[in-house]
Structure 1
Amino acid sequence: MNAIRKIGNLFSLFRQAFGEYAWSIALMAALNFLSGLLEGIGVTAIIPLFSFIGGATKANDTISLAIAELFRFLHLPYTAKFLLFFMVALFLSKAVFLFFSQQITAKIMADFEERTRSMLLRITFAARWPFLSSQKVGHLDQMLTTEVVASSSILYYLSGAALVSANLIIYSILVLNISTIIALLAFISGACIFFVFLPLLTKTKIVSIDMVRENKRLAHFANEHTIGAKTIKAMHLENQTLERGVTLLSLMRGLYLKTAFLRNISASLLHLASVFFVIGLFAFLYKTSAFEFASFAVVVYALNKVITNVQYAQNHAHTISSQIPYLQSVLSYRKEAETAAERDAGVLPFAFGKELLFRDVDFTYQRGEPALSSILLSIKKGEMVGLIGPSGSGKTTIVDLLLRLIEPEKGEIVLDGTPISHVRLKDWRARVGYMSQDVFLLNDTIENNIRFYSASVTKSDIENAAHAANILAFIQSLPDGFKTMVGERGVFLSVGQRQRIALSRVLARKPDVLILDEATSSLDTESETLIHESIERLHGEVTLIVIAHRLSTIMNADKVFVLEKGKIVEEGKPGVLLKQEDSRFAKFYKQQS
């Protein structure tokens, strides 16, 4: 019952992964089966051919008689010459069927890989932010490359399984046609071998599950430490980092050797068993009076093909068993990402004329710590608002709520009296700009980094945005101007230049609301001054929400909200709060001074 359940689960898995290719797989299997059938009939024709060549008694086995009957039906001379032509035609037909089967297999595999990768990218980008933020660096990369390729290879081996099955059936019939006893012995031996080697398949799958896990760990290690390469070199930790990487590689080497051992030991033992079986068979038949060289040669060839195909079946089974964990990983991720899909119930367009209001908003993360509690916060159109507070006070959570990356647990955020959840998400994010302290740049030109996939952004928009961000003069001073490559993560630029290009990117989209998340926290004085000038020019034209570490960034804000432990503990104009010596804002200012 356990074996039946496992087979049922396996078919369910394949149906889930490859169900849309059912007809193509059926055609592929049919062509492979026909290919094996034609080969088997062609080989069987050797028996009557030997009879013609040796002048011996005509073969009277069932298949040979059927071939003779076919010749009579087609009104063809039953001679050695025409029999040879018949065999050539069979093997040529087999080659044609096999070619088309392989082409269909290649097409299915290519389509599966393209569709699966597209699906994985689509559901990843469509997932909610909490799900995305929980994913480890390198895991998606590993899935798009190694795991999808391993999954598609199952199709190749399933295609081979149809050919192997056809060959096993045809050559088994061939042996049965010549000798029932030999066929029975071969069947019993094959069944015994199958059940003896069955535990090796289970072991192969277990080792492969470990391989999937370690492949992801290695991908995460490589991506994580490539990003942190500067820190590693600066701290002279190359050897320690390498040691950890070598440990992972050594573990993967061990798992690979285990998989290879399990596959090779079964192949070697099967080959050894087949040799002993053929030798014993020859010794048995040679002593009998019914021994015929032609029949025995065909039997040996057929048995060899049976054993070879059993070996192929074993190899296919081991390979499929080793690839199943990769397919399960892909399907598991698909299920998780689809469950975490971002929902948009909004139907209204974005329209900001008066006020953006947090009304008694609470939010708690999964770890159970309240991030925000009873937040009441009003932002008028065109205002510049500052958010300050120690780390963990709730500033970033407010930003994530404004970007609609997360949703309030209690209370609501309203825009001109309308809950923002009623506004179309696409419209909302098109009108609310965001600049993070962690600048993300493509390894591309400055122009493409400012345009950033937005076809509606014109060259004029890019230049105007660069001017507003105080970076236009610098770009124009470069030999290639806007066509200058910025390098991986903007490595060819200074931190301040990267920040201003990132600001240009947001401004090119002409947002109504601009959120600046500690945009000047890691800048030098000159770069900070340039960013301040950009912010001042935007003041009044765009509603600005600024998370500030340096209070100088928000001294000209219309009002400031001070947060502590998820609550607003103080609000007011910076100048007024600064005059109140016991205010938290004044204390922050003195600490920085």
Structure 2
Amino acid sequence: MVVNFFNIGSLFAIGPLVDFVIHPDLQNISPLTEKMISVIESFAFPVSLSSFLLFFVSFVFFGSLFQAVSEYVVQKTRFKIVEALFSDCLNSFLSAKWQFFVGQKQGEFINLFSRELIMIASALGQVSQFTVGVVQIFFFLSVPFYISWQVTLLCIIGIVLLSIPFILFGRYGYVFGKKGTDYSKEFISLLNENFNLLKIVLGFANQKKCHTDLVKAYVRYANTTIQWLTLGNALFLLFRPVAVLIVAIALFFSRKFNVPVSEMSVLLLGFFQIAKSAGACVNMNTAIGNFFPSYELMKSLKEKADLEKQFTGMKIFKTLEDRICLKNLSFSYQENEWALKSINIIIEKSKMIALVGKSGSGKSTLIDMIMGFNEPQVGCIECDGVDIHKIDIDSYRSRIGYVPQDSVLFNTSIKENFLWAKPDASEKDIKEACFLAHADEFIDNFPEKYDTIVGDRGVRLSGGQLQRVALARAFLKKPDLLILDEATSSLDSHSEKLIQDAIDKFAIKTTVVIIAHRLSTVRKADHIYVLDQGKIVEEGKYNDLISKRGRFSSMVDMQELTK
């Protein structure tokens, strides 16, 4: 509002300046100049060219100053809104079930939080500028309306008629925006996937195919972006002749209605500003249409995450007092295909429980159930007699130490990876956990020791080193429940022996659930459950199961034969 006041003031100041040039003696001046002279005299300024120049320059200066301030406020507000959208969306994602992430490509999230969020931020700026442009048009219209409502009305009719084609073409912004979002999502997903699997790409000597696929995906995205940018720029540039035509119409009818030259100059400049703002609004209308697909993608992913919200209760889980029970538990990923069927397991405190079975028998799915990643369709999980749905899931998981088969680390130092797991850990705590996991043996040999950068996903460490750091990270939490999902299956015999020794020591004072591929590693387990096709087919201690000569015994014999 303040900016528009100064802009209108600068326009009105042009009339007297023209009159001073044409009529230095101030004879036969326009009514507008007469009123401006009255304003000058009311401020006790001398009626001179210098006074009007001072007023004109002052209006322009303060108008520009307030416009700069308002631009800062608009930009700050815009990014605050984007920050709120980002935070709200991220909160929905991080509150969703694990299955939500399994059902999406990583590239979709990367694309959303990079390209699409930038598009939304840009569109919000365009919306604010569009609003400002519309307001400016109405304010600028007051100037020519004051001088000649007849000329103004005829020019408005011309602007409306000439703008219709541009508004219609602007609708293609949504079409190009939808294509741009789809192709960007495809390109980012493919890029992320190929770089995550780059070792496989190199191993298969498939660099050429990788390069071809990525370039094709990029070209599809680039071509759509070029079309959209060309459309926006073309509409803006083609509106220039419209602006000139509007000014010409204003000039023609000003002569027809005998508008004084000084007032005509104000009127023409007013319509030039109106046409300029109208052209910017047409261009921004196209950009705003391009933004909607980005917002729709963010909204659809957020709604999907909200529908798949992670269950959680109100009871804070402090420590495991007695046992965890899985009662008549059944779970399926697809209808009529049970991944787990009628599972009954008791995990007693300070005991080691082993889950064994061939690949696809349901062992990892069972671990996901215990960690609360999946919900059973039938049955329940109880911690110390309390249904897991009544327990705050974050407090429950915070008391679990988890080491998967393929552990990963963040691309930072070894020390920072430990502090990520336990921010308040002291240097003594970290070294004790590493000593227990036999990780100190190689960390102390690194030139930078605990400040050694491990690389993306821990790629700078060997498999055995990476797994021992991951195990130390779990030990550092001093969990009530340690879950090991085939943590030694891909290691050499030396690394496996070190890690197994660490697990055996740690198991003395905590509860351990272990999935084992090598059955010799579960000799010391207090209870073993044998799974097959999602069902428990045998259970008992190691020696008892061997003496039964059943499924477990056959699996042990098979491994002995293959040594």
TM over 0.5: yes
2:101 matched to which residue of 1? 132
Match of 1:195 among 139, 156, 164: 164
Residue in structure 2 matched with residue 586 of structure 1 by the alignment: 553
Cα RMSD, aligned residues only: 2.4
Q: 1:350·1:424 contact (CA, 8 Å) conserved in 2?
A: no
Whether the 8 Å CA contact 1:350–1:423 is kept in 2: the answer is: no
Cα deviation, 1:233-264, whole Å, max 9, x if unaligned, reads 11111110111111111111221122123213
In the alignment, is the contact (CA less than 8 A) between 1:68 and 1:78 conserved in 2? Answer: yes
CA distance in 2, matches of 1:73, 1:177: 21
Q: Offset at 1:567?
A: 1.0
What SS class does the counterpart of residue 303 from structure 1 fall into?
helix
Tell me, in whole angstroms, the C-alpha distance in 1 between the residues paired with 2:492 and 2:248: 85
Distance 1:72 1:348, change over 3 A: closer
Q: Secondary structure at the match of 2:444?
A: helix
* Equivalent residue number for residue 452 of structure 2: 484
| Amino acid aligned to 2:138 | I
Picking from 484, 494, 501, the partner of 1:526 is: 494
Whether 1:150 and 2:119 are equivalent positions in the alignment is yes
Q: 2:350, 2:509 within 8 Å by CA — same for their partners in 1?
A: yes
- DSSP-derived class of the 1:241 partner: helix
The separation in 1 between residues aligned to 2:318 and 2:237, in whole angstroms, is 70
Q: 1:83 aligns to what?
A: 52
Moved more, 41-50 or 153-162: 153-162
Offset, 1:231: 0.7
Measured in 2, the distance between the counterparts of 1:284 and 1:103 equals 40
The letter of the residue matching 2:430 is I
Taking a change above 3 Å as real, the CA distance of residues 283 and 96 of structure 1, as seen in their structure-2 partners, is: closer
- The code of the aligned residue for 1:480 comes to E
Q: Give SS of 2:347's match.
A: strand
Do the aligned residues in 1 keep the contact of 2:246 with 2:271 (CA within 8 Å)?
no
Please list the CA deviations of residues 166-213 of structure 1 after superposition, one character each: whole Å capped at 9, or x if unmatched: 432243333333444432232112111232222222211121022122
2:209 aligns with: 240
Q: Is the 8 A contact 1:518 1:549 kept in 2?
A: yes
8 Å contact 1:109–1:155 — kept in the other structure?
yes
Deviations 1:282-323 (CA, angstroms, capped at 9, x unpaired):
56766x594754444433333322221111111121122222
Give the alignment partner of residue 400 of structure 1, picking from 334, 348, 368.
Answer: 368
CA drift of 1:87 comes to 1.4
Q: Provide the C-alpha distance between the structure 2 equivalents of 1:521 and 1:228, rounded to a whole number of angstroms.
A: 21
- 1:438 is paired with a residue whose SS is coil
Q: Which of 543, 550, 565 is matched with 2:511 structurally?
A: 543
CA-CA distance at 1:278 after TM superposition: 4.2
Task: Report the CA distance between 1:568 and its aligned residue.
Answer: 0.7
Assess, with a 3 A threshold, how the Cα gap between structure 1 residues 353 and 39 changes in structure 2: closer, same or farther.
closer
1:514-555 Cα offsets, whole Å, 9 max, x none, are 110011121112111111211222333222211122222223
Q: Please state how far the C-alpha of 1:509 moved relative to its aligned partner.
A: 0.8
Letter in 2 for 1:174: V
TM-aligned CA deviation for residue 349 of structure 1: 3.6
Change in Cα spacing, 1:183 to 1:348, as seen in structure 2 (3 Å) is closer
- Of 123, 131, 154, the residue aligned with 1:185 is 154
Instruction: Give yes or no for the alignment of 1:212 onto 2:181.
Output: yes
Counterpart amino acid of 2:144? V
| In the alignment, structure 1 residue 249 sits paired with structure 2 residue 218 | yes
Q: Contact 1:452 / 1:505 at 8 angstroms: preserved in 2?
A: no
Q: How far off is 1:579 after superposition?
A: 3.5
State how far apart, in whole Å, the 2-side matches of 1:353 and 1:100 are: 61
- Report the more deviating stretch, 329-338 or 317-326: 329-338
Distance 2:333 2:175 in 1: 35
Q: Using the alignment, how far apart are the partners of 2:29 and 2:143 within structure 1?
A: 13
Give the C-alpha shift of residue 423 in structure 1: 3.5
Distance apart, 1:400 and its partner CA: 1.1
Q: TM-score, normalised by structure 1?
A: 0.88
Distance in 2 (CA, whole Å) between partners of 1:351 and 1:433 is 13
Residues 380-389 or 437-446, more deviating: 380-389
1:43 aligns with 2:2: no
Q: Give the secondary-structure state (helix, strand or coil) at the position aligned to 2:106.
A: coil
CA distance in structure 1 between the partners assigned to 2:237 and 2:75 by the alignment: 30
Query: In the alignment, does 2:193 pair up with 1:224?
Result: yes
Preserved CA contact (<8 Å) 2:331 2:340: yes
Question: Compared with structure 1, are the counterparts of its residues 161 and 415 closer, same or farther at alpha carbon in structure 2 (3 Å cutoff)?
Answer: closer
Quick one: structure 1 residues 278 and 91, their matched pair in 2 at CA, closer, same or farther if it must change by over 3 Å? closer
- Equivalence for 1:342: 310
Give the alignment of 1:360-399 within 5 angstroms: 360-366=328-334, 369-399=337-367
SS of aligned partner of 1:452: helix
SS in 1 for 2:171: helix
- Among 237, 254, 261, the alignment partner of 1:268 is 237
Indicate the residue corresponding to 2:402 in structure 1. Answer: 434
Q: 1:499 aligns with which of 454, 467, 476?
A: 467
Contact persistence 2:316–2:392 (CA under 8 A): yes
Does residue 433 of structure 2 align to residue 465 of structure 1? yes
Alpha-carbon distance in structure 2 between the residues aligned to 1:343 and 1:539:
30
Deviations 1:90-110 (A, max 9, x none): 112212211210121122133
Could you say what secondary structure the match of 1:457 adopts? coil
> What amino acid does structure 2 have at the position aligned with 1:108?
T
Cα contact 2:167–2:282 (8 A) shared by 1? no
- Pair 1:552-2:520 in alignment: yes
Q: Is the Cα–Cα contact under 8 Å of residues 155 and 250 in structure 2 kept in the other structure?
A: no
Q: Name the CA distance, whole Å, in 1 between partners of 2:507 and 2:182.
A: 51
Using a 3 Å threshold, how does the CA distance of structure 1 residues 306 and 47 change in structure 2: closer, same or farther?
A: same
Contact 2:404 2:486 in 1 (8 A): yes
* Distance in 1 between residues matched to 2:257 and 2:300, nearest whole Å: 63
* Aligned-residue identity in percent: 27
Amino acid at match of 2:394: K
Shift of the alpha carbon at 1:131?
1.7
Residue 71 of structure 2 corresponds to 102
Q: 1:289 to 1:589 in 2, by over 3 A?
A: closer
Which letter does structure 1 place at the counterpart of 2:219?
A: S
Q: Does 1:175 align with 2:161?
A: no
Q: Alignment partner for residue 87 of structure 2, among 101, 118, 131? A: 118
Amino acid corresponding to residue 419 of structure 1 in structure 2: D
**Structure 2: which 5+ residue stretches go unaligned?**
none
Compare 348-357 and 556-565 and name the one that shifted more: 348-357
Residue 498 of structure 1 and its aligned partner are, at CA, apart by 0.4
Distance change in 2, residues 1:38/1:59 (3 Å): farther
Question: Would the aligned equivalents of 1:105 and 1:155 in 2 still touch at CA under 8 Å?
Answer: no
Structure 1 position 164, deviation (Å): 2.0
| Deviation readout 1:384-406 (Å, 9 max, x if unpaired) | 22112233322112111111222
Indicate if the aligned counterparts of 2:331 and 2:377 stay in contact, CA closer than 8 A.
Answer: yes
- State the secondary structure of the residue aligned to 2:454: coil
The CA distance in 2 between the partners of 1:401 and 1:137, in whole Å, is: 23
Tell me if the contact between 2:174 and 2:289 (Cα under 8 Å) persists in the aligned partners: yes
Contact 1:40–1:167 (8 Å) recurs in 2: no
